[in-house]
């Protein structure tokens, strides 16, 4: 029997939770992420950008919690470089431009989780990883994009570190699960504390 609801349509988050042996339902959140992001960026300065991930995760959890009695896990991840938030690329040309801007620099992936019950947030967690891309050549960039194809459009940084995307990097500082978008160990701790997993 499902112990909680994943309020996300993310195949990656679903896979991580399934691989951990958890029993859950999936109810994707119906929120306007672009509007939430735009409102937040208008109201807050660059120093508060990590809170945007919290805001998005909470909005997803809250929306779904109004449709179920079970605890709802919402999650989000943002990429920040030099005070700018990146969004998923809309096409391969934008993916190419994103990677050119990120190469040779360090960016931060910020992953946030929130659990909501009955329209209230009952738990939050946020973590960040520092990702330093190497100064790869244009030849390598074109070869990489040709290899990964449309998968480059499925993540904000145009890479998956569990695949060929690892070749873009010279240094990574942070938790693997934070990098892939769901810092799962704190969430498992919360489930055990609630008696939803054996301790």
pLDDT confidence of residue 126? 97
> Residue 62 in contact with residue 74, Cβ under 8 Å?
yes
Q: How far apart are the first and last CA of the chain?
A: 18
Helices (H), the chain: 11-19, 33-43, 50-65, 92-102, 138-148, 176-179, 184-193
Can you name the residues that pair with 103 across neighbouring β-strands?
none
pLDDT bin (cut points 50, 70, 90) of residue 10 is confident
- Would residue 76 show up in a list of annotated catalytic residues for this protein? yes
pLDDT bin (cut points 50, 70, 90) of residue 4 is very high
With 80 as the cut, is the pLDDT of residue 93 above it? Answer: yes
**How confident is the model over 144-198, as pLDDT tens digits?**
999 999 999 999 999 999 999 999 999 999 999 999 999 999 999 999 999 999 9
Q: Which of 47, 76, 127, 175 is catalytic?
A: 76
Encoded tokens for 168: 């873009």
Q: What is the DSSP letter of 1?
A: -
- pTM, full prediction: 0.92
Q: What is the DSSP letter of 83?
A: T
Separation between Cα atoms, residue 188 and residue 194, nearest integer Å: 10
Separation between Cα atoms, residue 140 and residue 192, nearest integer Å: 45
pLDDT confidence of residue 11? 84
Q: What value does the mean pLDDT take over residues 9-34?
A: 93
According to CATH, the topology of domain 4-193 is: Maf protein (3.90.950)
Going by C-alpha positions, the residue among 103, 59, 53 that lies closest to residue 78 is 53
pLDDT confidence of residue 108? 97
């Amino acid at each position: 029997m499902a112990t909680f609801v994943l309020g996300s349509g993310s195949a990656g988050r679903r896979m991580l939770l399934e691989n951990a042996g958890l029993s859950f339902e999936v109810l994707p959140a119906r929120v306007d992420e672009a509007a939430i992001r735009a409102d937040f960026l208008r109201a807050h300065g660059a120093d508060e950008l990590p809170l945007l991930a919290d805001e998005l995760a909470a909005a997803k959890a809250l929306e779904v919690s109004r449709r179920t009695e079970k605890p709802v896990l919402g999650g989000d991840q943002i990429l920040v470089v030099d005070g700018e938030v990146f969004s998923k690329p809309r096409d391969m040309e934008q993916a190419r431009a994103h990677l050119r801007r990120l190469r040779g620099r360090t960016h931060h992936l910020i992953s946030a989780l929130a659990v909501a019950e009955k329209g209230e947030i009952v738990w939050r967690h946020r973590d960040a990883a520092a990702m330093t891309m190497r100064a790869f050549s244009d030849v390598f960039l074109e070869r990489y994009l040709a290899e990964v194809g449309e998968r480059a459009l499925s993540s904000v940084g145009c890479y998956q570190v569990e695949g060929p995307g690892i070749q873009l990097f010279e240094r990574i500082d942070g938790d693997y699960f934070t990098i892939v978008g769901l810092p799962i160990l704190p969430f498992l701790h919360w489930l055990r504390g609630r008696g939803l997993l054996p301790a």
